[in-house]
């Protein structure tokens, strides 16, 4: 049997097909544009997602000759897709990285209180989330708001076009601020807070459940948001197992939880997991490998391998040079969209390699801000993302978090986890855990170097002092 995973991302739809051992037998990708009509805004045409999905599925079905027996969906979280009475989008989708609704978030937290909001939703009100976008729409485009008949997330719009069903899963729905995450159901109280009509919302189910069928009868699993699906693809399924640590454009620390236990201050996200009856906590660093990409572009465009080779010539700590990685603001633990990055401690001796090493270390320390909040801590991390391909950065992260880091045989990310869910929906595996046991295979392992870990532990205090110092310098303390 073969199972497809479809990942509706911010820049493209990525798809793959795996067999019952987890071997990737086909891959395809189709890209589309991102619109930024104003500073801080990010929008896309949902029809672009559907066209790309059709292209990817056609390529996957034509590869290898064997049929696809199940499909799982994943994709960018938090995006707002609003449909009218004719089931057509009323406007472009407002995406996860759109910050226009920050005033609405501030107003909601002031009215409801952070403690009550976190107790219900597991999270603070962030501009990236779905519900604040609805409030923005009501206040700024009331004529559009009045026409809303359905609200969908990005991958769920693709599901609707694929199966005709309006369904979402508990993991992706957790990022809307409309779900009672502990009860795994839409919250009447949150719906009232954000002015949403329950009739607009899709049916919410567990991630491996069959949500509908394609025209040719292939079952489509409910799926999950990209972080939960990606963690599933890394084998992160329960509290006793490994954590997922992602060093992509953003950085993520992700741990499964057997019980719903949100951080009272909302510093960590608390979402339903793609594993039925489980939850997860997650810390997000907004600029991770993206910070290294910025440095590369700002210093002449050298290859990443050249930059990290130059960084390796410097000792840990870079003679007091520190980098605060807040190029796009920060989410965990500060929830501050306005703070910005900085180098501190620059000296005439510091060269491009020193700047690079400081970025590698600053990003690792930013990951540690989230890791420090996870309790109990997993004893192993499964490491993925573009930054995980660097041996030096892997050593730095392992030492900073003081945890062994494992790689897995597949680096296909969220699409791989979605394909596992497709396998459960197709009946090849009885449970998500069975799918993971059959298909997720750890390979390389990096142990934290004790001397390096000790050096970075000594630097924690100086790194943690950067954020309040930057806020004070900006007059916001």
Pairing of strands 381-384, 405-408: parallel
What local confidence, expressed as pLDDT, does residue 412 receive? 79
Question: Cβ distance 369 to 331 under 8 Å?
Answer: no
pLDDT for position 249: 87
- Gyration radius (Cα) of the chain, Å: 22
pLDDT in tens, 43-71: 999 999 999 999 999 999 988 678 999 99
Residue 330 and residue 283: Cα distance in Å, rounded? Answer: 11
Helix 226-233 and helix 414-425: axis angle, to 10°? 80
Known catalytic residue at 226:
yes
| Cα gap 443→215, rounded to integer Å | 39
pLDDT in tens, 12-47: 999 999 999 999 999 999 999 999 999 889 999 999
Between 410 and 86, whose confidence is greater? 86
Confidence of residue 97 (pLDDT cuts 50, 70, 90): confident
The confidence score (pLDDT) of residue 63 equals 83
Give the Cβ contact number of residue 236 at 10 Å: 30
The Cβ of residue 183 has, within 10 Å, a number of other Cβ atoms equal to 12
477: pLDDT strictly greater than 60: no
pLDDT tens, position by position, 187-241: 999 999 999 999 999 999 999 999 999 999 999 999 999 999 999 999 999 999 9
Fold matches, 2-234 and 285-406+447-473: yes
CATH number of this structure's domain 285-406+447-473: 3.30.420.40
What is the tens place of the pLDDT at every residue in 426-474?
A: 999 999 999 999 999 999 899 999 999 999 999 999 999 999 999 888 7
Task: Assess contact for 353 and 307: CB atoms under 8 A.
Answer: yes
Other CB atoms within a 10 A radius of the CB of residue 56 amount to 24
Question: Is beta strand 219-225 parallel, antiparallel or unpaired with respect to 70-75?
Answer: parallel
Beta carbons within 8 Å of 98's beta carbon, 6+ residues apart: 40, 41, 42, 43, 127, 128, 133
Cα separation, 412 vs 144, in Å, equals: 38
Q: Which pLDDT band, with edges at 50, 70 and 90, does 475 fall under? A: low
In the structure, what pLDDT confidence band is assigned to residue 476 with cuts at 50, 70 and 90?
A: low
**Which residues are bridge partners to 180 per DSSP?**
185
Topology, domain 2-234:
Nucleotidyltransferase; domain 5 (3.30.420)
- Cross-strand partners of 308: none
Compute the distance between CA of residue 381 and CA of residue 386 in angstroms, rounded to an integer. Answer: 16
Assess whether pLDDT exceeds 90 at residue 338: no
Residue 336 has pLDDT above 90, yes or no: no
Distance of CA 171 to the CA centre of its chain: 11
Whether the predicted pLDDT of 85 surpasses 90: yes
* Catalytic-labelled residue, pool 7, 19, 180, 226: 226
Matching residue, tokens 């197709």? 426
DSSP per residue, 314-333: SPTTGGG-EEE--BTBB-TT
The whole-number pLDDT of residue 26 equals: 95
Query: What does the CA dihedral 155, 158, 160, 161 come to, rounded to 10 degrees?
Result: 180
Q: How is residue 433 written in tokens?
A: 């855990």
Q: What is the mean pLDDT of the chain?
A: 95
Q: What's the confidence (pLDDT) of residue 474?
A: 75
- DSSP helix, strand, coil percent of the chain (3-state; round to 5): 40, 25, 40
Q: Is the peptide bond before 333 cis (omega within 30 degrees of 0)?
A: yes
The pLDDT tens digits of the residues spanning 166-179 come to 999 999 999 999 99
The structure's pTM equals 0.92
State how far the Cα of 475 lies from the Cα of 468, in Å rounded to an integer. 10
User: What are the extents of the domains in the chain?
Assistant: 2-234, 285-406+447-473
User: 248-287: string of b/e by CB count within 10 Å (b at 16+)?
Assistant: bbbbbbbbbbeebebbeebbbbbbbbbbbebbbbbbbbbb
Question: What's the mean pLDDT in 303-316?
Answer: 97
Residue 445 CB neighbours (<10 A) = 12
Cα separation of 252 and 179, whole Å? 22
């Amino acid at each position: 049997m073969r199972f497809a995973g479809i990942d509706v991302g911010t820049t493209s739809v990525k798809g793959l097909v795996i067999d019952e051992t987890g071997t990737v037998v086909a891959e395809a990708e189709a890209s589309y544009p991102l619109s930024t009509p104003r500073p801080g805004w990010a929008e896309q045409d949902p029809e672009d997602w559907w066209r790309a999905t059709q292209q990817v599925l056609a390529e996957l079905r034509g590869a290898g000759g064997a049929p696809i027996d199940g499909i799982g969906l994943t994709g960018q979280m938090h995006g707002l897709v609003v449909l009218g009475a004719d089931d057509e989008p009323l406007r472009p989708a407002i995406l996860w990285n759109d910050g226009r609704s920050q005033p609405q978030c501030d107003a909601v937290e002031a009215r409801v209180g952070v403690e009550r909001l976190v107790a219900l939703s597991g999270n603070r009100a962030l501009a990236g989330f779905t519900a604040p976008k609805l409030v923005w729409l009501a206040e700024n485009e009331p004529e559009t708001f009045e026409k809303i008949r359905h609200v969908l997330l990005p991958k769920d719009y693709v599901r609707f076009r694929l199966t005709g069903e309006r369904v979402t899963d508990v993991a992706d729905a957790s990022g809307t601020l409309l779900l009672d995450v502990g009860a795994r159901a839409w919250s009447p109280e949150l719906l009232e807070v954000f002015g949403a009509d329950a009739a607009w919302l899709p049916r919410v189910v567990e991630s491996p459940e069959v949500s509908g069928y394609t025209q040719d009868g292939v079952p489509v699993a409910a799926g999950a948001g990209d972080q939960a699906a990606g963690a599933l693809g890394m084998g992160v399924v329960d509290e006793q197992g490994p954590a997922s640590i992602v060093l992509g454009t953003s950085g993520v620390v992700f741990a499964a939880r057997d019980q719903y236990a949100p951080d009272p201050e909302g510093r960590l996200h608390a979402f339903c997991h793609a594993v039925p009856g489980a939850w997860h906590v997650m810390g997000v660093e907004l600029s991770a490998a993206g910070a290294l990409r910025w440095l590369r572009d700002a210093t002449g465009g050298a290859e990443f391998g050249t930059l990290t080779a130059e960084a390796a010539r410097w000792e840990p700590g870079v003679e007091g040079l520190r980098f605060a990685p807040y190029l796009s603001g920060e989410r965990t633990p500060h929830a501050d969209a306005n703070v910005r990055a900085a180098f501190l401690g620059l000296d005439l001796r510091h060269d491009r390699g020193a700047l690079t090493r400081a970025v590698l270390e600053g990003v690792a320390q930013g990951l540690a801000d989230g890791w420090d909040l996870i309790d109990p801590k997993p004893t192993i991390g499964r490491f993925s993302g573009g930054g995980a391909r660097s041996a030096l950065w892997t050593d730095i992260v392992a030492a900073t978090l003081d945890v062994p880091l494992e790689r897995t045989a597949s680096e296909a990310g969220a699409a791989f986890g979605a394909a596992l869910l497709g396998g459960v929906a197709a009946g090849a595996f009885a449970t998500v855990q069975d799918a993971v046991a059959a298909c997720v295979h750890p390979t390389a392992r990096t142990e934290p170097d004790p001397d390096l870990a000790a050096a970075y532990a000594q630097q924690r205090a100086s790194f943690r002092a950067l954020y309040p110092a930057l806020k004070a310098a900006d007059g916001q303390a």
